[in-house]
Amino acid sequence: MDFRGLTVDDLSSVMELESSVFVSDAWSSESMRSEIESPNNFYLGLFEDGLIGYAGLSTIPGSFSSDIQTIAVSSAARGRGIGRALMQELLRKAKAQGSEQVLLEVRIDNEVAISLYASLGFERIDVRKRYYQPDNVDAVIMRLRITQPLVLGIESTCDETGVGIVRGNRLLANALHSSMDEHSKYGGVVPEVAARAHLEAIAPTLNKALAEAGVQMKDIDAIAVANGPGLAGALMVGIGAAKGLALANDKPIYAVNHLIGHVGADVLERGYVQLPTIALLVSGGHTSLLLVRDLLGDAVLLGETIDDAAGEAFDKVARVLGLPYPGGPQIDKLAATGDPKAIRFPRGLSLPKDMEKHRYDFSFSGLKTAVARYVEKAEADGETINPADVAASFREAVVDVLLTKALNACAEFGVDRLLLGGGVVANARLREVAQQRCEAAGIELRIPRFSLCTDNGAMIASLGAQLVMSGHAPSSLGFGAESTLEVTVVQSP
Ligand code: ADP
Ligand code: MG
């Protein structure tokens, strides 16, 4: 016996079984085709020298609710638990998608089916009179409630100590402490200072998250922690805390990838992440372009910065202009009154020769140097610069190159969705140009609320919950901090 998802190629064998099982009220071939083809549906077939049973599940994204559309078992194969096996597979799928209930309707005279559903945990909630025509038979509506896991997530990859709590795909708490201010006198994140700050912030942030969610540590079903990529010393604090909590409270632990967490953050915004998507993650530590087809199993790093991160470039250029750290918001504000076309600054890795080897990679150090040279030259020549024009022209160069490459990726991989993440997403011009270019190209732009774009514990909890809901085994306690964790590793063993 062999389960597999059905496609329209299976339509004729499905229809053969359909018309033999449902003699008086079989679906038409057209209805069945659109059922199987619908992106919201999952049809499963069971094969044994041909199709002997099938069942369909429908889940409207963001509804947290699934429906059993149909279930059929060939008369020759009855009494072997095939209906139960099909149902169990569909329920596994509903759970993995984050559904909190599954509904079905069944003929009131089909006692075998009703008792099967009851044994799987379904309860009668209603009766619809004369639902099945032309036989004039009532339908019993049944519901199975699914309690999705309560997962606590810890984030400490850079300068944010984040603790988030989710139940399945729902956000319950997102507590955060940032050590940004402590880094300001150094003009950038200092790893040792960040690690020390995590140590001081972790317990209060954990307590804040538990209070915000209104739950206690004993209620938590699993703990997730970002174990990379990030600063080693900073990661160790979050990992140490997560392992301590897991051991002390006897909870399973999931070590997850911080970057995939950013992509998954959109789950908490609308109950699901629409895939495939191109993801552009831009922060003080990362500038990464990802193609994600499956959050838990198919993410590819298309490119990343070969020198400074985008946020880092903002911070460094701010210093050149005498602005305080963090430079991003300062430059953004100053640029609002400047002319973005005043100075033509270089677009890193955008020349034809670079595009061969570094099609989706970024480089911002040449841009930073170009700004510094421009300012130095003006000073040497005794000219006064217009800082607003410099800021606007610099910002334009960063935004242009980020979005040109991201939209190239959308076009070349045939993906009509772009998701943004990271602290640089706060940039007003980045948001504006992203909106314009995506609209022009017919691409859906997703920007989660800002507290889910910057580093946070909720996205880590959410990715952990996805793993739990899909039945992945926990990580062993032996995992460590992985500064350069690859995006292909969603969970460390
Ligand atoms: P990380 O924790 O990796 O350093 P964050 O996600 O915390 O990154 O984002 C901080 C970075 O985002 C800083 O480099 C900051 O300058 C940049 N940033 C914040 N706001 C803006 C903005 N409006 N425009 C550009 N960059 C910004
Ligand atoms: Mg940060």
- Report which ligand 1 atom has the smallest distance to the Cα of 285: 3
- Find where tokens 């002390």 sit: 248
Full-model pTM: 0.94
Percent share of the chain, pLDDT over 70: 100
Mean local confidence (pLDDT), 272-300: 95
61 domain-assigned:
yes
Using alpha carbons only, give the angle 451, 455, 459 rounded to the nearest 5 degrees: 75
- Mean pLDDT, all residues of the chain: 96
**Is residue 134 predicted with pLDDT exceeding 90?**
no
In terms of domains, do 122 and 165 share one? Answer: no
In terms of domains, do 285 and 422 share one? Answer: yes
Residue-wise pLDDT for 425-470, tens only, equals 999 999 999 999 999 999 999 999 999 999 999 999 999 999 999 9
Give the domain-ending residue among 124, 145, 166. Answer: 145
In terms of domains, do 58 and 86 share one? Answer: yes
Starting at the earlier edge strand, list the strands of the sheet with 170-178: 170-178, 160-167, 150-155, 222-228, 253-257, 491-492
Q: Specify the CATH number for the domain of residue 102.
A: 3.40.630.30
Ligand 1 and 188: CB distance under 6 A: no
pLDDT of residue 98: 97
104 domain-assigned:
yes
In terms of domains, do 341 and 417 share one? Answer: yes
Q: What are phi and psi of 374, to 5 degrees?
A: -60, -45
Q: Specify the CATH number for the domain of residue 210.
A: 3.30.420.40
User: What total of structural domains would you count in the chain?
Assistant: 3
Ligand 1 and 491: CB distance under 6 A: no
482 domain-assigned:
yes
Residue-wise pLDDT for 26-59, tens only, equals 999 999 999 999 999 999 999 998 999 999 999 9
Strands (E) across 148-297 are located at 150-155, 160-167, 170-178, 222-228, 253-257, 277-282, 287-294
Query: Which one is predicted more confidently, 363 or 133?
Result: 363
The CB density around residue 312, as the number of other CB atoms within 10 Å, is 25
Residue-wise pLDDT for 413-425, tens only, equals 999 999 999 999 9
What residues does the ion ligand 2 have nearby, CB within 5 Å? 158-160
272 domain-assigned:
no
In terms of domains, do 250 and 299 share one? Answer: no
Query: In which band, very low, low, confident or very high, does the pLDDT at 63 lie, cut at 50, 70 and 90?
Result: very high
In terms of domains, do 336 and 248 share one? Answer: no
Ligand 1 and 159: CB distance under 6 A: yes
- Tell me how far apart the alpha carbons of residues 220 and 249 are, in angstroms, rounded to a whole number: 9
Mean local confidence (pLDDT), 194-198: 94
In terms of domains, do 159 and 103 share one? Answer: no
Going from the Cα of 49 to the center of ligand 2, the distance in angstroms, rounded, reads 57
Ligand 1 and 423: CB distance under 6 A: yes
Residue-wise pLDDT for 228-280, tens only, equals 999 999 999 999 999 999 999 999 999 999 999 999 899 999 999 999 999 99
In terms of domains, do 349 and 439 share one? Answer: yes
Residue-wise pLDDT for 378-401, tens only, equals 999 999 999 999 999 999 999 999
In terms of domains, do 127 and 155 share one? Answer: no
Range of the domain at 185: 150-265+454-492
Q: Which of 231, 364, 424 to mutate to test the pocket of ligand 1 (most atoms within 8 A of CB)?
A: 424
Ligand 1 and 252: CB distance under 6 A: no
Give the domain-ending residue among 126, 145, 164. Answer: 145
In terms of domains, do 23 and 49 share one? Answer: yes
pLDDT of residue 304: 97
**Is residue 350 predicted with pLDDT exceeding 80?**
yes
Ligand nearest to the CA of residue 454, numbered in listed order: 1
Query: In which band, very low, low, confident or very high, does the pLDDT at 288 lie, cut at 50, 70 and 90?
Result: very high
Give the domain-ending residue among 145, 172, 190. Answer: 145
Going from the Cα of 246 to the center of ligand 2, the distance in angstroms, rounded, reads 26
- Find where tokens 């006897």 sit: 250
In terms of domains, do 282 and 421 share one? Answer: yes
**Is residue 1 predicted with pLDDT exceeding 80?**
no
Mean local confidence (pLDDT), 206-216: 98
219 domain-assigned:
yes
Quick one: 193 exposed, middle or buried, by C-beta within 10 A (0-12, 13-18, 19+)? middle
Q: For residue 407, what are the CA distances in angstroms to 104, 199, 288, 414, 437?
A: 42, 40, 14, 10, 8
94 domain-assigned:
yes
- Report which ligand 1 atom has the smallest distance to the Cα of 312: 14
Query: In which band, very low, low, confident or very high, does the pLDDT at 129 lie, cut at 50, 70 and 90?
Result: very high
Going from the Cα of 279 to the center of ligand 2, the distance in angstroms, rounded, reads 18
287 domain-assigned:
yes
Going from the Cα of 258 to the center of ligand 1, the distance in angstroms, rounded, reads 16
Range list of H helices, 358-470:
365-380, 387-413, 428-441, 450-453, 457-469
Query: In which band, very low, low, confident or very high, does the pLDDT at 2 lie, cut at 50, 70 and 90?
Result: confident
Ligand 1 and 314: CB distance under 6 A: yes
In terms of domains, do 213 and 93 share one? Answer: no
pLDDT of residue 478: 96
Going from the Cα of 477 to the center of ligand 2, the distance in angstroms, rounded, reads 27
Ligand 1 and 427: CB distance under 6 A: yes
